[in-house]
Structure 1
Amino acid sequence: MTQPVNFFASYSDEQEQAKRQLVATRATLLDELRASGVTNAELFYEGYDDDGNVEYIALTPAHVSLSEELYDRLQAFGWDFAYSYNPGLEIDCGGNGSLDWDLQTDKIDLNYCVNDEESVREEYRDQ
């Protein structure tokens, strides 16, 4: 006889693991970005029609340049962080927003807007 699968427990475990990974990635990036001289990173993201990503990253100070690998990891973190607060943001008309990460205090302000007939904006401060 086959063992019953507890899909809820499995999904819950996956979500907890993803949350722990996001925390670990944030800590690693924080150290690497600070070492590169970055004091603030603002990431602009959008998603629609079942696809999405970070479209643009503005660093402070502006003269700092990141390696392609570090830039890509920052971009992936930005999307994962935004998505953790607004899962499914890329579905149908989607949404867009910005993630403003103060690297000196390690505080992130996240702004999100739904793209539909009635625009809805949400803010998550000091995450």
Structure 2
Amino acid sequence: MSSLFGALCFLIVSLATLAASAPFALRDVYNPHITAPDSTTVWKCGQYVSVMWDNSNLPEEVTNSEGMVVLRKDGLEDIEHPLASGFNVVKSHSISFTVPSIPTKNDYEIVLFGDSGNLSPAFTIECDEKSG
């Protein structure tokens, strides 16, 4: 029984070593620069706004062109409630949506996902008591 266990451990370690030494396929990383919002931006809850990005430096191949925009607060992305999703981050340079009713804060950030995540500068979202 112990020789079977030893052989199994040897096999697992050997496979792990082989997998770790295998070359990784080169992947493009498309990380477009977010041009809006910027640090001077103030969004109001209920307002129709746009996130814009510069897609002038596209790699030859983008492995995932399906985009998603989420809010980030205190280092956490709100993946459960995307502001926009399902758009082509390569063929477009902006996406628009309505700002949700959330607490007023001056340190929200936008994360643009596609082939890679990209982070905007911190900006402000303001909601009055009735909307937020």
With the shorter chain as reference, the TM-score category is: under 0.3
Higher strand share: 2
Q: State which structure, 1 or 2, has the greater radius of gyration over its C-alpha atoms.
A: 2
Q: TM-score, normalised by structure 2?
A: 0.27
Q: Which has the higher contact order (CA 8 A, sep 6+)?
A: 2
Higher helix share: 1
Q: TM-score, normalised by structure 1?
A: 0.28
